[in-house]
Structure 1
Amino acid sequence: MDIYSSKLPPAVDYGAGAFLLLIAILSVVGNLLVLIMAYKRSSHIKPPELLSVNLAVTDLGAAVSMYPLAVASSWNHAWLGGNATCIYYGLMGFFFGTASVATLTVMAVVRFSVSLTLQSPKEKISKSRVHVLLLGTWLYALLWALFPLLGWGRYGPEPFGLSCTLAWGEMKDHSPSFVISMFSMNLAIPAIIIIFCYFGVALRLYVSYKSMDNGNLIPNNVKMQRRLMVIALLISIGFLGCWTPYGIVSLWSIYSSSASIPPYVSMLPCLFAKTSTVYNPLIYYIFSKTFKQQVKQLLCPTNRTGTCYASQPNNGTENAIYLVCDRNKHKEGLSAQLSLDKSREIETQLNSSSYQ
């Protein structure tokens, strides 16, 4: 039997292709929005936020480089391109997946280091240092992705025939050291570091809250760190949660014959793992006021339904901008702004005259 032919009924293949197409669209749109928002405020972006931008790049790269081929192969009821595209697909998946894990690990370490001095208004990490860390994540991912091409490890088709990844069943005899090293360095150790760091951040926030006499007067930077920790923690949980079932099935195929795994059992964790590229923009939209308001500003129509204007929020924990589409309110906002500018101009003139 051809290793690149589907082991599933055509109806299941068509359904899997439609599901992957939906995931691809959501991933591209969501992560493009993250990158557009980051570009629009690039002059004000803080160093730790670059890690979230890098995560969006890895998700977008995976969606663009992999999902179209997977969708076309599913609807073809056989893998397209044979060995060459299989190696390409496996390399891209391993490369972007490792880059995502490395970025999440660095994000956790940075969040932990920032939490050590919550009361300090100074920036805890410079952009140059974050750039070095980001470069390190990409080089680390590239090194691991190249190992199978250099003979340590191997790329091959999935048991159900319509996807390619590391050839787990073959590597248990040819490269057992690669399997142990890969799972240790790219799953187990990163997961331990992430859990330890966010536990440390939560403990630090708890101590900060307890040390304050009045719990209602919590500094804005502490509130912001709490919100950022929740977002980063949910992103990490989402990624690890998506890939853990796939990792379990992969380990099973190493220590047992892949033929003992039904095609459906091997396909479902693979599809579930690919949803990891969609979660991050959704988490940003739900839990980040700034991101939600920027998306609304981008999508808010300005020609017929009204003009978007910004008003400062009451709660400044995230420097959020609330957007409203209303012509009358827009005029009122402009009038208020003009009055404020005029009063500032008069005050400046009075101050200038008093010094003469």
Structure 2
Amino acid sequence: MRGNRDMELPEDFYIPIKLDTNNITSLSPFLVPQDHLGDALTFYAMAVFTFFIFIFGTFINVLTIACTVQYKKLRSHLNYILLNLAAANLIVSIVGSFTACCSFSFRYFVFGPLACKIEGFLVTLGGMVSLWSLTVIAFERWLVICKPLGSFAFKPNHALACCAFTWVFSLIASAPPLFGWSRYIPEGLQCSCGPDWYTSNNKYNNESYVIFLFSFCFAFPLMIIIFCYAQLLITLKMAAKAQAESASTQKAEREVTRMVVIMVVGFLVCWLPYASFALWVVNNRGQPFDLRLATIPACFSKSSAVYNPVIYVVFNKQFRTCMLAMLGMGGGEEESSTTQSVTEVSKVGPA
């Protein structure tokens, strides 16, 4: 961009590449198509992708919530956390994917600056609740299987308290940009919104907010997840030797554990590129990059709304059976008891 960039910096958006104009407002992502950032085919391809995430993510997460409400046998403490995860996914799919689909279709953020802030906040909130829900699941598996607290039993009221924690902490972490610590602006091809990684402006202290998010909303919970599953795998390996007569219980534990481990891997596939890109931008100010590539991490982060429910539909026999029954494709009561029993009380303990 020609001219003094600092003098032209708008309050509600920032395009982090050079543009051939002295008036950045004339290219506002809230006013005109962003054809100067990419070809129409790229925008329409992203519109199709986010449309798929919106339709399928909304459907599968609504179905998950509906099944939990209808079928009493799904109301175990572990499934309460999965229900919490579905609610967070629903926010991401309805708010994030729908607005992105519409905006990519028009090739600019058609809903305006206020909607951009709302969308950025809600998607960030939903993403954080999703991550912390996965952390709680790993923590619950560690408590139930490894029994570090001895006879302590993880009960529904504990699960509900953990779910409340995910929302309170995520709200505290995602709200600051609404009040001046960083800000929510269009990102990538300017058709979806998120925290401002791009500008180095003392007014917003963006670098400190990025470091805060990466440390306490990604790296720290990831460390908890790795620790819990590492301990869990060690315990299962020891139990396989010490409790050979409890093969069915061990199998049930492995099935549920495999499900949540794959959920974590799916989440990392969606969110690790986004977190890595944010850190790269913060540590490489002024380095050129293709905004089309910058859009990919943001779009794939929204795909967590599909990854997680697909994983527990495929690997959780209870949810799969109940969903098929609700859709008229199977009997709701024909169920193997292994997954149900493991979500109630684990009989596997450390040797």
Matched, 1:270 2:301: no
Of 176, 187, 190 in structure 2, the residue corresponding to residue 158 of structure 1 is 187
| 1:254-265 map, 5 Å | 254-257=282-285, 260-265=288-293
Distance 1:90 1:225 in 2: 38
Structure-1 residue corresponding to 2:313 = 285
How much does 1:309 deviate?
7.8
- Cα pair distance change 1:203/1:92, threshold 3 Å: same
Unaligned runs of 5+ in 2: 1-23, 342-351
Are residue 205 (structure 1) and residue 236 (structure 2) matched? Answer: yes
TM-score normalized by the length of structure 2: 0.81
Change (3 A) 1:219 1:21: same
Deviation of 1:142 after TM superposition, in Å, equals 0.9
Q: Which runs of 5+ in 1 are unaligned?
A: 302-306, 321-356
Matched with 2:14 is none
Which range is displaced more, 174-183 or 37-46?
37-46
Deviations 1:21-61 (A, max 9, x none): 11111101111121122112236621122111100110011
Within-5 A mapping of 1:22-41? 22-41=52-71
C-alpha distance in 2 between matches for 1:141 and 1:107 = 16
Deviation at 1:223, TM superposition (A): 2.5
What does residue range 36-75 of structure 1 map to in structure 2 within 5 Å?
36-42=66-72, 45-75=75-105
* Structure of higher CA gyration radius: 1
Aligned equivalent of 1:346: none
Distance 2:289 2:263 in 1: 30
Distance (whole Å) between structure 2 residues aligned to residue 99 and residue 16 of structure 1: 25
Q: Aligned partners of 1:309 and 1:80: how far apart in 2?
A: 44
Listed one character per residue, the Cα deviations across residues 172-193 of structure 1 (whole Å, up to 9, x for unaligned) are 6441322211110011111111
Structure 1 residue identity aligned to 2:240: Y
Match of 1:218 in 2: 246
1:12 aligns with 2:48: no
**SS state of the match for residue 170, structure 1?**
coil
Q: What is the DSSP-based 3-state SS (H/G/I as helix, E as strand, rest coil) of the residue aligned with 2:45?
A: helix
Identify which of 318, 326, 340 aligns with 2:339. 318
The answer to whether the 8 A contact 2:321-2:331 is kept is no
- In structure 2, relative to structure 1, the CA distance for the partners of 1:9 and 1:285 (3 Å cut) is same
Q: Is the 8 A contact 1:95 1:141 kept in 2?
A: yes
What is the percent sequence identity of the aligned residues? 25
**1:206 Cα offset (Å):** 0.7
RMSD (Å), alpha carbons: 2.3
**Aligned equivalents of 2:287, 2:41: Cα separation in 1:** 22
* Matches of 1:161 and 1:127, distance apart in 2: 42
Whole-Å separation in 2 of the counterparts to 1:194 and 1:165:
25
Q: What secondary structure sits across from 1:48 in the alignment?
A: helix
